[in-house]
Amino acid sequence: MSAATEQDRTSLDSQTLRADRLAQLRAAMARHGIDAVIVPSSDPHLSEYLPGHWKGREWLSGFTGSVGTFIATAKFAGVWTDGRYFTQADTELAGTEIALMKIPGAASQLHVDWLAANLAAGQTAAVDARVLGLAGARLLADALQARGIVLRTDLDLLDDVWTERPALPADAVFEHLPPFATVTRADKLQSTRAAMEAHGAGFHFVSTLDDIAYLFNLRGADVSFNPVFLAHALIGRGDATLFVGDGKVPAEVRARLEADDVHLAPYENAVHALEALPEGATLLLDPRRVTAGMRASVASGVNVVEAINPTTFAKSRKLDSEAVNVRATMEQDGAALCEFFAALEPLLADANRSAINEVDIDTRITAARARRPNFVSASFSTIAGFNSNGAIMHYRAEAATCATIEGDGLLLIDSGGQYLGGTTDITRVIPVGTPSADQRRDYTLVLKGLIALSSAHFPRGTRAPLLDAIARAPIWAAGIDYGHGTGHGVGYFLNVHEGPQTISPAVPPDQHTAMEPGMITSIEPGIYRPGRWGIRIENLVLNVAANKTEFGEYLAFETLTLCPIDTRCLDRSLLRPDEIVWLNDYHATVRARLTPHVEGAAFEWLMLRTEAI
């Protein structure tokens, strides 16, 4: 059987499987009197990357993107997702009855509008409140109630139909220790309690996994690529309780937690702890970072103060001691990339380069990082897309369907690593063969966007979404745009996507998105031409003090990422003199910082790719 025939057969089998699952779901809906079921891409911690137990939307639809909402009625099924995933969703939903419903961004609530418009008064919609964010649940309830539609939040219909649903992960928790953890657990708890006191709260409940990992100086492996573990936390004025699976915390770690007045309780007991809070107590919780199910568990006599988790701000503002570790991590990551590219480029130049495919890229780049000190894991699934696959913004190569890298074109590689001293995320595009004039133009426009924002100075407290247009301006000037945000926050050996700051037009510029010193954010403009090529260039930057004038404090970006930007794809005529200076200065810094960490072919590659233009 040919590879194409096998691929077609696999696709047909997948379509049949999804049709069967949808039929089972509709049967369960009928049994419970449900007219529409909503399955968000979420878990009880509102995580971006989910343990298998909560990948219900993917299990039902076959769409594997990290953002999407699945809705099914008796006669309709659809997935709502944003522009990063349109091409991918078109491919993965092909041949099924499941429709792609396009939304402008991850925060869109268009699926709520659809439900309100397509259900009749008296009909019932269902969603599991345990995985539905509180803010989204309120919006959904208001919209449906206004149309006389009943909303049930006490059902998880997946339990009716998903007979082989994965169990919760059981990986062990470990401590993040000095010199990488530069603030003690006791000091972080003290700072959190000071913030609680400012709100008049005697208790604070936290569900978001990166906040918990940060606060307790603990890490885990329950979620792919993010070093976190499943837990809830309840912090009181004198002690704290960590609700975590039995056996996940080693005895020696448990003892050190107890020394800091942090007690362990079973994971499932978090609900009961909220139910048992004393009448008249005041509880601080974050409505954007807790589920409707957890909020509903709070005892009725408890006063609830809604405000952002104090740890969300604290972990986003990296300390000088943490920035030192991040810079050292960037040097190691950059050296690994030098070794990777030095080995890859001769293979791509060889006449027999058909032996290299997109999956090989992931294997090779992860192996290069794994040879570096303090490496733990990849920080996300490597995106290696050649030509048309590069236009799929969150493409993931699979062994059965990946492209072979042959002929002329562009290879986009978006990858990152988790190290004890920081988290990396970088995108580079390299030419295979000879890039066309159109490819050079697109590449240069993307670089101009990167340089524009990287060079910006802005008032401290500027709302991060407002910076987005600076990177887009050179691309807009050519009548081109891209369908994703320009930048996301990045954690410190934590989630590769971290709030509260996001440089994106799809995010409201509220006070929580204010740019403050110490924040690490990506800058990643792009151009994508479906069916042809995709280009994205990405660096991580650190907010640093620029100057202080009569108009206030100003911030600038320190570029943290250290890896050459391929100049073979440039149309030099499109660059202004100051942009050329920026690129040459960046390459001079990359050369100086990485030279001590590489040798042999990697050293020679670094020298070649950092030559001034």
Across the range 289-316, mean pLDDT stands at: 96
pLDDT tens digits, 477-510: 999 999 999 999 999 999 999 999 999 998 999 9
Do 84 and 152 belong to one domain? yes
The band of 349, judged by pLDDT with boundaries at 50, 70 and 90, is confident
Please list, in sequence order, all residues whose beta carbon lies within 8 angstroms of the beta carbon of residue 163, skipping any fewer than 6 positions away. Answer: none
**CATH number assigned to the domain comprising residue 156:** 3.40.350.10
Is residue 562, in this structure, part of any structural domain at all?
Answer: yes
Domain boundary pick from 129, 161, 193: 161
Q: At what angle do helices 134-146 and 110-118 cross, to 10 degrees?
A: 30
Please list, in sequence order, all residues whose beta carbon lies within 8 angstroms of the beta carbon of residue 191, skipping any fewer than 6 positions away. Answer: 310, 314
Across the range 113-124, mean pLDDT stands at: 95
pLDDT tens digits, 405-448: 988 999 999 999 999 999 999 999 999 999 999 999 999 999 99
DSSP E strands in 113-213: the ranges are: 124-126, 150-152, 174-175, 203-206
Do 368 and 497 belong to one domain? yes
Q: Does 302 score more than 70 pLDDT? A: yes
Do 277 and 345 belong to one domain? no
Do 334 and 274 belong to one domain? no
Across the range 114-138, mean pLDDT stands at: 94
Place of tokens 């970006």: 557
Length of the chain: 613
Q: Does 354 score more than 70 pLDDT? A: no
pLDDT on residue 398: 80
pLDDT on residue 167: 93
DSSP category for residue 567:
G
109 closest CA partner among 133, 73, 84, 145? 133
Backbone angles phi, psi at 383, to 5 degrees: -100, 110
Is residue 169, in this structure, part of any structural domain at all?
Answer: no
Do 152 and 125 belong to one domain? yes
- What does the longest C-alpha to C-alpha distance in the chain come to? 75
pLDDT on residue 496: 97
Buried b (16+ CB within 10 A) or exposed e, 488-507: bbbbbbbbbbbbbbbbbebb
- 36-40 β-sheet, strand order: 99-102, 77-81, 69-73, 36-40, 124-126, 150-152
Is residue 101, in this structure, part of any structural domain at all?
Answer: yes
Question: Are 233 and 243 in contact, with CB atoms under 8 Å apart?
Answer: yes
Domain boundary pick from 309, 344, 368: 309
pLDDT tens digits, 356-372: 889 999 999 999 999 99
The band of 12, judged by pLDDT with boundaries at 50, 70 and 90, is low
Could you give the CA distance from residue 472 to residue 489 in angstroms, rounded to a whole number?
Answer: 18
Backbone angles phi, psi at 123, to 5 degrees: -75, 165
pLDDT on residue 352: 54
pLDDT on residue 403: 85
Do 125 and 183 belong to one domain? no
Q: Does 318 score more than 70 pLDDT? A: yes
pLDDT on residue 7: 46
Q: Is 282 helix (H, G, I), strand (E, B) or coil?
A: strand
Is residue 211, in this structure, part of any structural domain at all?
Answer: yes
- The answer to whether the predicted template modeling score (pTM) of the entire model surpasses 0.85 is yes
Do 294 and 389 belong to one domain? no
Is residue 590, in this structure, part of any structural domain at all?
Answer: yes
Domain boundary pick from 309, 330, 356: 309
pLDDT tens digits, 232-261: 999 999 999 999 999 999 999 999 999 999
Could you give the CA distance from residue 270 to residue 287 in angstroms, rounded to a whole number?
Answer: 17
Q: Does 521 score more than 60 pLDDT? A: yes
**CATH number assigned to the domain comprising residue 447:** 3.90.230.10
Instruction: Find the DSSP H helices in 310-436.
Output: 310-316, 320-349, 358-370
pLDDT on residue 241: 98
Could you give the CA distance from residue 166 to residue 85 in angstroms, rounded to a whole number?
Answer: 25
pLDDT tens digits, 136-182: 999 999 999 999 999 999 999 999 999 999 999 999 999 999 999 99
Do 323 and 304 belong to one domain? no
Is residue 166, in this structure, part of any structural domain at all?
Answer: no
pLDDT on residue 5: 46
Do 289 and 349 belong to one domain? no
Backbone angles phi, psi at 435, to 5 degrees: -70, 150
pLDDT tens digits, 533-576: 999 999 999 999 999 999 999 999 999 999 999 999 999 999 99
Do 482 and 414 belong to one domain? yes
Do 59 and 38 belong to one domain? yes
Is residue 187, in this structure, part of any structural domain at all?
Answer: yes
DSSP category for residue 172:
P
Do 183 and 78 belong to one domain? no
Instruction: Give the helix/strand (H/E) hosting 469.
Output: helix 468-476
Is residue 251, in this structure, part of any structural domain at all?
Answer: yes
pLDDT tens digits, 37-54: 999 999 999 998 899 999
User: In total, how many domains does the chain have?
Assistant: 3
The band of 351, judged by pLDDT with boundaries at 50, 70 and 90, is low
Rg (CA), the chain: 25
Domain residue limits at 234: 174-309
The band of 11, judged by pLDDT with boundaries at 50, 70 and 90, is low
The burial of 118, by beta-carbon neighbours within 10 Å (0-12 exposed, 13-18 middle, 19 or more buried), is given as middle
